[in-house]
Structure 1
Amino acid sequence: MSLPRRVGVLVAGLGGLAVSTTIGLLWATGPKALPAGTQLAFAAMILIGVTWAGFAGWALVRRPLFAVDRVITGWLAVIFSTLTTVGTVAIAVARASTAGVLAAGGLGLILIVVSSAMLIRARAYRAALLARKRELEGHQP
């Protein structure tokens, strides 16, 4: 992994850890019990942050080959963008907010499209690297 990519992975991991820690502390130190929906949202955000931190630790320690880290990152982005979109649209629907549904759905759709494009690009890059590997292995004596 190149230095800029390693720094990016480190930033993503530290960001996920910071978000998870902050939300966990807010949840644990609140003056009274939170509503069930808020607890579910907090748990989901903590899980997302911990997942990014775990991925970063794995990628930085293991040094994945043939761009598998890019494919995993793409899948995480697609999954988390989709879950976030579903959650925010559900909240907007529950509040009967047409503007909220449109805003959450529109922004969510943009996030899903961008993350899907990243995943497609990562898979193509990995496929190209693996094809090159097979080609090089076929030319050795």
Structure 2
Amino acid sequence: MTEEEPRLSAQEMIERLSPVLSLGLRVRAVAALVVGLAGAVFVAALWWSEPGPLPGRTHVAFALFTVFCLAWAGYGGWLLTRRVPLFAGEQVVAAWIALVASVVTAVVVGVVAVQRGTGLGLAVAVGGVFVAAALVLAVRAHARRAALLRRRRELTGGREEV
């Protein structure tokens, strides 16, 4: 028997070793999509149903929360449409969304606290915790992605196969 088995590229081996969208990743993607859309609808409905004229900073806050929700919905939709190995790219995207949302929210809460004269200390402390957690997640996601891409280069011998 001299039949030669077909040789697989490193990319094909990686794809066969793990499904492109595991069940856990699919669940997270659907959750991000559904919760993001529900949040956007809820915040927009609350914004539109407010009686009387709202202050400018309230409009900005509602708009930012709506954008954050739509960003998570877009992230969920993007994940569901991927048909290639992501090499932890989805974690990097999620970490950046979380980091931007945390920083912007912390700044808005800080500005509101200063304007109301309620003290900046608590706002900075709470905002700092959320920003620090998001930053840790971003650093870990980048490190994991870099390790996976390094491993892929090792498996492919430096060739980028698509």
TM (norm. structure 1) is 0.90
Q: Which residue of 2 aligns with 1:127?
A: 146
Matched residue, 2:126: 107
Q: Which amino acid aligns with 2:143?
A: A
Structure 1 residue corresponding to 2:93, chosen from 72, 75, 81: 72
Structure 1 or 2, whichever has the larger Rg, is 2
Moved more, 115-124 or 59-68: 59-68
Quote the residue 1:81 is aligned against: 102
Q: Deviations over 1:73-103 (max 9, x none)?
A: 11111111000000001100111112xx222
Task: Map 1:13-92 to 2 at 5 A.
Answer: 13-63=33-83, 65-92=86-113
Q: Deviations over 1:19-57 (max 9, x none)?
A: 110111122233322221111110110011011101110
CA contact (8 A) 2:47 2:62 kept: yes
TM-score by length of 2: 0.79
- Tell me which amino acid in the other structure corresponds to 2:78: W
Gaps of 5+ in 1: none
User: Over aligned residue pairs, what C-alpha RMSD do you find?
Assistant: 1.7
Aligned length: 138
Greater than 4 Å deviation, 4+ residue runs: none
Q: CA deviation at 1:18?
A: 1.2
